[in-house]
Chains A and B, each alone.
Chain A
Amino acid sequence: MRPSSPFGGELAFERIAKRFGSTAALHDVSLTVPDGSFCTLLGPSGCGKTTLLRIAAGFVDPDAGRVTLGGRDLADTPPSRRNMGFVFQSYALFPTKTVAENIAFPLSVRGAGRAAMAARVAELCALAGLEGLEGRYPHEVSGGQQQRVALARALAADPPVLLLDEPLAALDARIRQRLRAEVRRIVDEIGVTAIYVTHDQEEAIAVADQIVVMDRGVLRQAGRPEEIYLEPAHAFVASFVGASSRLACEVLDAGQIRLGPDVLAGTIKAPPGPGHAFLRPEDVVLDAGGRGAVVERAAFLGPVWRLTLRLGDGQALEAEIATPRWQATPLPPGTPVAWSVPPARLHVFAADDAGAERAP
């Protein structure tokens, strides 16, 4: 069900740049969000993801570049004419209006009739699970309910694009998990193009069709969640999305690296010379034929044991071992082990890649 709007379609950012004073918030960012898709902007705070969202809404003018919707340049369209639903981190509900009045506001400023407004409010309240709360004021409903009101209000005028700025950040963890699935359900039901800003990678992976990873104003990688996770295109992506061990190494020719005394095969995206290898704990395999290491620490995490291995050259490597196999005792500290990793899961980037230094 594609709502009819004055304009809609693909949302595109073309070479967007923005500075605030002396700091560059966005640097030459280009991004295309296909019509009807759910896109997540992921990155640490200060990476420019919210600025990009606010540029889409028209709250911020870019210094360079343009935003188009369905091929139409939005530069001349003020925020009030863009018809983009915006959900704020703080919800930004009107404290002087009831839940129903909040949801009806975009219709009311467009001169909708009373009956049409009432029908639309009822429809949205049903969609967002707000029945019975119509007459309450925002401060009289819970945080999760306020979030639903904000979502319903943003969708009331049938916007072609919905922009969500960390919509769940103010809620506690349990509600956040439940609501993110619900946000996705509602967005799917409406069929709106959505851009969702978050710093929580788990949330991003859970809801998105497309994840865009940003770092210090630069777009590092855009792709499906599994692409981002399995095939990082940049050291920053490899370190920010999911947990990884980062090991200093030397890149050799022919798809190999030297790690301490060992030579390993990997997926290399760096020229020969110093590099960084990224390995996910779940990809490290303990087997008899592998490289040598010593167990330094074993931490029980429930489904898995997390082992810290000390390599021959002194670097630390994390490995995860499924719990059932080590029901009794894990490997005690000091145990020598052998490990290996499939070449496809060993990602190597040049050591001077800026993002690597900021790995969490």
Chain B
Amino acid sequence: MTRARLLGRIPALSALLIAGLLVTVFIAVPIGAMLIRSAVVAGPVPVAELKAMTEDALAFLPEEKRAERIAAWYARAKPRERMEAIAASLTIHDHPVGWDRKAAFDRQIEAAEAALAALEPAARSAVEADLPIAYVTLFKRVPLAFMVKDALDEAGFDALRSGEATRWGWDHYLRVVTEQRMRNAALNSLILATVTTALTLSLAFAIAYGINRGGVWRAEAARIGVLVPLVSPPVVVATAAILLLGRNGIVTKGVLDDGLGLIDAGVSNLYGFSGVLVAQVLSFLPAAFIVLDNVLSKSDGRLEEAAAAHGASAWQIFTRVTLPMAQPGLLRAATLIFLFAMTDFGNPQVIGKDMPVLAGVLYDEMVGFHNTSLSSAIAVWLIVPALSIALLLGRIGRRKRFDSADQAPSALPVPRGLRRGLTALTWGVIGITVVIYGTILAGSFVKVWGQDWAFTPHHYTSVDAVPGFVSSVVGITPVWTSLMVAGIAAPLGALIAVVIAWLAERRRGVAAESVALVTLVPAILPGVVFGIGYIVAFNAPFGIAALSLNGTHTILVLNILFGNMFVGVLAARAMLRRLDPSVEEAAESLGAGLVTRFTRITLPMMRRAAILGGLYVLIDGMCTFSAVVFLQGPDIDLASVEIFHAANVSYYGVACAMSVTILLVVLTVMAAQALIERLGPRWARAPALGRQA
């Protein structure tokens, strides 16, 4: 390899280096920092260790003054302090402290002296000999620390002065198991996630099966209808459910209570477990559907036809052919939904009433106490069940892979009764979606839902609609902040994604492949984890507070960019795999250098993948809130977070108004994209650049 050829590799190498640096700093480091933080325990140093530290510090005093100093300090010990010293000395010498440490001090002082007197003479003199040092350890460490400050390093000085130290430990993890409050919440979370996953999966599979096997009327329209709410503003379903079925819900209060007098809406409403369940199932359904639809639409229908030709009944075909073939997809969808359900704190906070869940505890610890260590440990607990089940089942199912070249769907007729059922189910779900968004739209224009039905545009413009409501939010302005943040992240994310995909597919090599793999990590890890990771990593990078990114727009842009970039990477890689690599070699042999080649040939060919990746960053960036809720500083209001806050304090009007605005923005962007697609260059219709990305 000569110098000239080495120089020719510099552009690609530096691109790889920069990409590697970016994903390390903004994906790997935050997650690693969060894991480290979860195992950092701060606490008082045990008294024996503390005594050793004190003795070490005393050793720095001149020898002749040392005993004198201790004696002088101990001479001034008050009775209560002497009692504490006795207790400490007893502990140091492994004797039990036999009196009630919570009793009044007079009683304790008496008891301490009695305990000392009751010891055997040898033990007693040993305990008494250590009383002065125990006293200094307990009460004179601070002056001592300052006396010997020059001789100690910073950590040693801090530890001596405070009597506290950080250490490695599983304490935060154990608290989840040992503390009643968290154990309850964890149990609730597991039950909720299990039921949500089972329900969501059954519904999604039934719908996906119906749509892909001719069991649903107007299958193409139904597919779009089910997929539309895939990315929607946070807690939309929960908010709509409250507006419909809550204490002041139009159905519960308006019809059943006030209208018919059948129930008391204050008692019978959707708050609680069932409310969270409904909200989660409807929110997660599109995600489960997209996975299962993908599997069922690609499975080879000929196999089902073959089974029928060999005499299998419809039920036998379903249980012995269709279901086993869909198994990998079911596993993926189950893992995904379980993760979603475990880490969701929005729905439980808004509609969960008194049912604590583990993700809610995390939210409280983080927002209320800024307890990053405990929050990190809880975050790990939240993802452990789903990931371990996925790994376990994935290992068992590894031998089973069903790739078939033939992707023609089965043309076997679906029994009429089943067809009716699946059609009713699918269109019923779509109908509920329509009702939900209709309710949100209505809620955004009603003064006070359930009480004052007067029309008002004020939820969009200001907070006048509800006098006395205190918020920094003015109408829908947070939406524009969100649009700006996501709008900056989107093109950057698309570009970085395409470059990384290109490096992985065309340069190959372990390094490029690892970079691409790291970008996928946020796809598996829920936003909560990624958000906490950013706080821990960028609060004071390298211990320098001036570099802190917390509370800035920058950290939000970075988090949204790197948290959602994986879609672009996946799309671009899939596209590059279909594109003939010799096209780029052709450009090279025709005289184009690396940069020319990339900008004039590769990038235009990747247009569709880049647009898709950018759109995803933009839309998801505007809608998700579990990561940014912890990152948003006091001066910045992102719409997704504000929707959650508003819904959380029952101020539904402005939540609805912001949701509606977000949806309008998203629809506008998608319509614009479709228009560009239609009016775009003729070459974009080349089959090689087509949409089966």
Residues on A facing B (Cβ under 8 Å): 57-59, 61, 75-86, 88-90, 92-98, 105-106, 109-110, 137-140, 150, 153-154, 156-157, 163
Contact A95 B592 (CB under 8 A): no
Report the Cα distance A78→B585, complex, angstroms. Answer: 12
From 578 to 628 in chain B, residues with beta carbon under 8 angstroms from any chain A beta carbon are: 580, 582-583, 585-593, 596, 600-601, 604-605, 607
Nearest CB to that of A58 among chain B residues?
B589
Contact B688 A95 (CB under 8 A): yes
Contact residue among B8, B604, B686 (Cβ-Cβ distance under 8 Å from A137): B686
- A-B pairs with beta carbons under 8 A, tally: 105
Contact B590 A109 (CB under 8 A): yes
Output the least CB separation between A203 and chain B (Å).
20
Output the least CB separation between B488 and chain A (Å).
27
Report the Cα distance A156→B586, complex, angstroms. Answer: 13
Contact A76 B4 (CB under 8 A): yes
Contact B2 A153 (CB under 8 A): no
Output the least CB separation between B584 and chain A (Å).
8
Contact A96 B605 (CB under 8 A): yes
Q: How large is the interface on B (under 10, 10 to 19, 20 to 34, 35 or more residues)?
A: 20 to 34
Nearest CB to that of B597 among chain A residues?
A80
B687 on interface, CB distance cutoff 8 Å: yes
The 16 listed contacts between A and B (C-beta, < 8 Å) are A57-B589, A58-B589, A76-B3, A78-B588, A80-B591, A85-B590, A86-B590, A95-B689, A97-B683, A106-B590, A109-B591, A137-B686, A139-B683, A150-B586, A157-B591, A163-B589
Contacts of A83 in B (CB 8 A): 591
Residues on B facing A (Cβ under 8 Å): 1-5, 8, 580, 582-583, 585-593, 596, 600-601, 604-605, 607, 681-689
9 nearest A-B residue pairs (beta carbon): A92-B586, A106-B590, A92-B582, A76-B4, A139-B686, A86-B589, A96-B604, A95-B686, A88-B582
Contacts of B686 in A (CB 8 A): 95-96, 137-139
Contact A78 B589 (CB under 8 A): no
Output the least CB separation between B453 and chain A (Å).
56
Contact B592 A105 (CB under 8 A): yes
Most A CB within 10 A of own CB, among B1, B585, B684 = B585
Contacts of B580 in A (CB 8 A): 88, 90, 92
Contact B592 A109 (CB under 8 A): yes
Known: A95-B686, A95-B689, A98-B683. 8 other contacts (CB 8 A): A75-B2, A78-B4, A86-B585, A94-B586, A94-B601, A109-B592, A137-B686, A139-B686
Contact B591 A86 (CB under 8 A): no
Contacts of B591 in A (CB 8 A): 80-81, 83, 106, 109-110, 157
Output the least CB separation between A195 and chain B (Å).
13
Contact B683 A153 (CB under 8 A): no
Contacts of A94 in B (CB 8 A): 583, 586-587, 601, 605
Contact B590 A157 (CB under 8 A): yes
Contact residue among B582, B589, B604 (Cβ-Cβ distance under 8 Å from A90): B582
Report the Cα distance A84→B586, complex, angstroms. Answer: 10
A80-B588, A88-B582, A95-B583 known; A137 and B5 CB under 8 Å? no
A86-B585, A96-B604 known; A78 and B8 CB under 8 Å? yes
Nearest CB to that of A57 among chain B residues?
B589
Contact residue among A75, A105, A137 (Cβ-Cβ distance under 8 Å from B683): A137
Nearest CB to that of A88 among chain B residues?
B582
Nearest CB to that of A86 among chain B residues?
B589
Contact A79 B585 (CB under 8 A): yes
Nearest CB to that of A156 among chain B residues?
B590
Contact B5 A76 (CB under 8 A): yes
Output the least CB separation between B681 and chain A (Å).
7
Contact B5 A96 (CB under 8 A): no
Output the least CB separation between B506 and chain A (Å).
12
Contacts of A156 in B (CB 8 A): 590
Contacts of B600 in A (CB 8 A): 109
Contacts of A138 in B (CB 8 A): 686
Contact residue among A85, A93, A139 (Cβ-Cβ distance under 8 Å from B589): A85
Report the Cα distance A69→B596, complex, angstroms. Answer: 26
Nearest CB to that of B2 among chain A residues?
A76
Report the Cα distance A93→B583, complex, angstroms. Answer: 6
Contacts of B681 in A (CB 8 A): 96
Contacts of B589 in A (CB 8 A): 57-59, 79-80, 82, 84-86, 154, 163
Output the least CB separation between A308 and chain B (Å).
39
Contact B682 A137 (CB under 8 A): yes
Report the Cα distance A59→B684, complex, angstroms. Answer: 28
Contact residue among B2, B585, B590 (Cβ-Cβ distance under 8 Å from A105): B590
Nearest CB to that of A89 among chain B residues?
B582
Contact B683 A59 (CB under 8 A): no
Report the Cα distance A58→B589, complex, angstroms. Answer: 8
Report the Cα distance A163→B586, complex, angstroms. Answer: 11
Contact A92 B583 (CB under 8 A): yes
Report the Cα distance A150→B590, complex, angstroms. Answer: 11
Report the Cα distance A37→B591, complex, angstroms. Answer: 23
Contacts of B687 in A (CB 8 A): 139
Contact residue among A57, A80, A105 (Cβ-Cβ distance under 8 Å from B593): A80
Contact residue among A84, A97, A109 (Cβ-Cβ distance under 8 Å from B596): A109
Report the Cα distance A138→B605, complex, angstroms. Answer: 13
Output the least CB separation between A229 and chain B (Å).
32
Report the Cα distance A79→B684, complex, angstroms. Answer: 28
Output the least CB separation between B57 and chain A (Å).
64
Nearest CB to that of B596 among chain A residues?
A109
Contact residue among A81, A88, A106, A153 (Cβ-Cβ distance under 8 Å from B585): A88
Contacts of B582 in A (CB 8 A): 88-90, 92
Contacts of B689 in A (CB 8 A): 95-96
Most A CB within 10 A of own CB, among B3, B8, B684, B685 = B8
Most B CB within 10 A of own CB, among A96, A106, A140, A157 = A96
Report the Cα distance A22→B586, complex, angstroms. Answer: 28
Report the Cα distance A110→B587, complex, angstroms. Answer: 12
Output the least CB separation between B19 and chain A (Å).
22
Report the Cα distance A157→B592, complex, angstroms. Answer: 12
Contact A79 B588 (CB under 8 A): yes
Report the Cα distance A313→B683, complex, angstroms. Answer: 66
Report the Cα distance A139→B682, complex, angstroms. Answer: 10
Contacts of A80 in B (CB 8 A): 588-593
Contacts of B587 in A (CB 8 A): 94, 105
Contacts of A76 in B (CB 8 A): 2-5
Nearest CB to that of B580 among chain A residues?
A90
Output the least CB separation between B616 and chain A (Å).
23
Output the least CB separation between B502 and chain A (Å).
15
A88-B582, A139-B686 known; A95 and B593 CB under 8 Å? no
Most A CB within 10 A of own CB, among B582, B589, B601, B687 = B589
Contacts of A96 in B (CB 8 A): 601, 604-605, 607, 681, 683-684, 686, 689
Output the least CB separation between A236 and chain B (Å).
29
Report the Cα distance A81→B683, complex, angstroms. Answer: 29
Report the Cα distance A81→B8, complex, angstroms. Answer: 11
Report the Cα distance A105→B583, complex, angstroms. Answer: 12
Output the least CB separation between B572 and chain A (Å).
15
